[in-house]
Chains A and B, each alone.
Chain A
């Protein structure tokens, strides 16, 4: 048992060491296609740090968009941002408030970014068209068709466009037209068998499915994706169905809330917050070591592991980290020693009551576990509610706080415990002052 703890402790310290190294220096294993950069570069930052623009798009007063309409609006916005070559962005549907939030971070190296220009016309009603193509009017490089103006059907001719399951489990788009339009569609598809019909949003090329056969009026048309992996078709079908439905979107969205931040401002704020975090961590270390001595040192190792794990999880999650999020990390550093404090105080009590070091550690942990569990769960409840109700910057805070609490529980109950048992197993660790208790050596 004792040697088992020793092996575990060694592994724990090794893992914390490796994680710390990866977080700071990154890792690159050429043969295995592993290339992780330093964690600071890997984290996705919110616009209050990276700079950029955040806007809330709302429907006109008195209108409550449906889920389908919101999805369609999201597809339009994404297509339009694509068209502006803005690929690094987030378009999120806020389902409770029935609106759309866009975040466009400042592109690195960009000097003249006009946030207002990025938002121009983004929420306008879209003009969706199905047009005949002209093989002479194609982009040489991408093969995309240019609009010919020979319109087959328009967005408001579409009565329904939805993703559907087609042959061999592949996703397709099911398309229904109004009865008048479906007669025009029958005529055009009859004439254009073997040729593509191109779909445009405004003047932007979206897709060009080839007509396989004449589609009789009143029947549902299916658009399938021939040369694509089946698993990719799901996403593509959702996207295309959203875009086609968008043609029928009856209202335009207006940018109601805009927050635009210069990257200069954010970088300074980030540097200073990180500095604050490091100072806070050092102060906590100092306090824990001075007050709790040997267990304090062990809790410092556990705390380091916890912070590193938290930062790595934030990087992996892809959830943008905001300034309140960083405040959350620092707050977690302070709160997370709570579990250790509860446990160590218990151990001290047990030692004073005359127990052996090993027995004191075991019963200290056992007795403290209910308080730590119940206490952490309430914080977790608060963090979850905040995550559900908060907007972007605050969600980041809720996320770091929530993950921090979970990690805290794991490190306090598992890591510190194993480390402490290992140390206690060593003969030289029996002195009571090592545990912050006055007087001699503990019973063995």
Chain B
């Protein structure tokens, strides 16, 4: 049987490294990178004839049309009706005052003049307000906090035998860990945060808690059966017993999300890609943290409690 508990420091250090890298990245970037949806601005996606157009030129043309700093990107997707590749030019402007209707038309007609774009080439147009963006962020953060509190309460009630509140708290530490890892990966790769990310975080909060609970469930059951075991032994046994399940469930869930991610990446479906990437990171982290963070932490707490009871005894006598 693998001794998960005595090796705990290695795993704590590994997690620490990822999170510290994230924090360094955060300081280096001067904060989180926010998607246009959160910081406000305008995005226009335009169908191009092929992908040979000059992106630099597009940026210049669009920027000078409205005298605002516009960023251009290439993208593509597959038209499933005739299996034809469609190439896109995505222009975006992140400003406090987004592009108004006239400015949008000016940008498109300037680009049309330059690149010979079709009549109905505007595929997507989005304009986002900074105030609503801020509100979405706040709502997202509130949602994550509320969900975590509800779960803490649930574990407290259901895992009484494991000193529920503390079992809940160590599970929450694992959740914080997962969210920190997701944020770190986003910061390290410079991926902008948006509402999809928050939804993914909440999903992972649910999933990671689910994972922790399956192990806790074993601990709860084993506590009832064998009262002689040491706490470490009990937890090691419980982790080992539920290990196959943890691995298999991670495999099936990851299979699904990775399939979605791969197909979305190949075919350039931005929204799905944005959604499945944080899920992949979170699923991996969620499984890992239940085994290597939540359970050892609980053991450490439990042992410190036992020491207290022992050292208290002579005092009582």
| Chain A: minimal CB distance from B275 (Å) | 5
Q: Is the CB–CB distance between A324 and B275 below 8 Å?
A: yes
**Which stretch, B7-15, B25-33, B62-70, B73-81, touches the partner chain A?**
B73-81
Q: Check A377 for interface membership: any CB of B closer than 8 A.
A: yes
A residues near B257, Cβ cutoff 8 Å: 330-331, 334
Contacts of A377 in B (CB 8 A): 154
A58 to B126, CA, bound (A): 16
Interface-forming stretch among B142-150, B181-189, B297-305? B142-150
Among A175-183, A217-225, A255-263, the stretch in contact with B = A255-263
Residue A253 is within 8 A (CB to CB) of chain B in the complex:
no
Most chain-B CB neighbours within 10 Å: which of A96, A261, A265, A391?
Answer: A265
| A272 and B214 contact, Cβ closer than 8 Å, known pairs A258-B127, A341-B248, A386-B143 | no
**A393 vs B276: C-alpha distance in the bound complex, in angstroms?**
14
In this complex, the member of A262, A273, A338 whose beta carbon has the largest number of chain B beta carbons within 10 angstroms is A338
List residues 118-167 of chain B with CB under 8 A from any CB of chain A: 120, 122-129, 131-132, 135-136, 139-140, 142-143, 146-147, 150-151, 154, 158
Q: Indicate if the CB atoms of A268 and B125 lie closer than 8 Å.
A: no
- Contact yes or no, B279 A331, CB < 8 A: yes
Does A414 reach chain B (CB closer than 8 Å)? no
List, in ascending order, chain B residues with CB within 8 A of A383's CB. Answer: 206
* CB contact list, B178-201 vs A, under 8 A: 195-196, 198-199
**A interface residues, Cβ below 8 angstroms from B:** 48, 56, 58, 96-97, 111-112, 115-116, 256-262, 264-265, 267-269, 271-273, 275-277, 279-280, 283-284, 287-288, 291, 323-324, 326-327, 330-331, 333-335, 337-338, 341-342, 345, 349, 367, 370-371, 374-383, 385-386, 388-391, 393-394, 397-398, 401
With contacts A327-B272, A401-B203 taken as known, whether A381 is within 8 angstroms of B210 at the C-beta atoms is no
Complex-state Cα separation, A430 to B151, whole angstroms: 41
Chain A positions within 8 Å of B210 at CB level: 338, 375-376, 378-379
What distance in Å separates the Cβ of A261 from its nearest Cβ neighbour in chain B?
Answer: 5
B230 on the A face (CB < 8 A): no
Contact A269 B256 (CB under 8 A): no
Chain B at the A interface: SS class: helix
Q: Are B214 and A371 in contact (CB under 8 A)?
A: yes
Q: Do A324 and B196 form a contact, CB below 8 Å, given A265-B123, A334-B254, A338-B249?
A: yes
Q: Which residues of chain B are within 8 angstroms of A380 by Cβ–Cβ distance? A: 206
- Asked if B221 CB lies within 8 Å of chain A CBs, one says yes
Interface contact A378-B206, CB-CB below 8 Å: yes
A390 adjacent to B195 (CB under 8 Å): yes
Q: Select B158's contact among A267, A280, A374, A382, beta carbons within 8 Å.
A: A374
CA gap between A100 and B242 in the complex, in Å:
48
Q: Which residue of A lies closest to B129 (CB)?
A: A256
Given known A-B contacts A324-B199, A385-B150, A379 and B206 have beta carbons under 8 A apart:
yes
Among A111, A116, A283, A394, residue most surrounded by chain B Cβ atoms (within 10 Å): A394
Instruction: List the interface of chain B (C-beta within 8 A of A).
Output: 45, 77-81, 86, 101, 120, 122-129, 131-132, 135-136, 139-140, 142-143, 146-147, 150-151, 154, 158, 195-196, 198-199, 202-203, 205-207, 209-211, 213-214, 216-218, 220-221, 241-242, 244-245, 248-249, 251-257, 259-260, 263-264, 267, 269, 271-272, 275-276, 279
Chain A residues contacting B217 (CB-CB under 8 Å) are 370-371, 374-375
Q: Is the CB of A341 within 8 A of B249?
A: yes
- Contact indicator A338/B142 (Cβ below 8 Å): no
Contacting pair B129 A268 (CB below 8 A): no
Whether B199 and A272, one on each chain, are in contact in the complex, defined by CB atoms closer than 8 angstroms, is no
A334 CB contact (under 8 Å) in B132, B218, B252:
B252
Contact A330 B202 (CB under 8 A): no
Q: Which of A342, A374, A397, A401 has the most CB of B within 10 A?
A: A374
Q: Is B209 a contact partner of A257 (Cβ separation < 8 A)?
A: no
Q: Could you give 9 example pairs across A and B, Cβ below 8 Å?
A: A56-B132, A96-B139, A272-B80, A287-B248, A326-B272, A330-B259, A331-B279, A334-B253, A393-B195
Find B260's partner among A97, A284, A327, A349 (CB 8 Å cutoff): A327
Q: How far is the CB of B254 from chain A (nearest CB, A)?
A: 7
Given contacts A269-B271, A374-B217, A378-B206, 13 further A-B contacts (CB under 8 A): A56-B129, A262-B120, A273-B264, A287-B255, A324-B199, A334-B253, A334-B256, A345-B244, A377-B154, A379-B209, A382-B206, A385-B143, A394-B198
- Do A382 and B205 touch (CB < 8 A)? yes
How far, in whole Å, are A379 and B101 apart by their CA atoms in the complex? Answer: 42
Q: Using known A-B contacts A324-B271, A379-B207, A386-B199, determine if residue A334 contacts B255 with beta carbons closer than 8 Å.
A: yes
CA distance A424 to B86 in the complex (A): 54
Q: Give the Cβ gap from A350 to chain B, nearest Cβ, in Å.
A: 12
Q: Which of B218, B254, B256, B279 has the most CB of A within 10 A?
A: B256
Q: Closest CB of chain A to B38's CB: distance in Å?
A: 12
Q: Which residues of the other chain, B, contact A257 by a CB distance below 8 angstroms?
A: 126-129, 132
- Shortest C-beta distance, A377 to chain B (Å), equals 6
Smallest Cβ distance from B152 to chain A, in angstroms?
10
Q: How far is the CA of A367 from the CA of B214 in the complex (A)?
A: 12
Give the shortest distance, in Å, between B23 (CB) and chain A (any CB). 26
CA distance A277 to B126 in the complex (A): 28
Q: Kindly report which residue of chain A lies nearest to residue B209, judged by CB atoms.
A: A378
Q: A345, B81: Cβ atoms under 8 Å?
A: no
A288 contacts across to B, CB distance below 8 A: 252
* A367 to B78 alpha-carbon distance, docked (Å): 48
The reply to whether B252 and A262 form a contact with Cβ atoms under 8 Å apart is no
In the bound complex, CA of A380 to CA of B150 (Å): 11
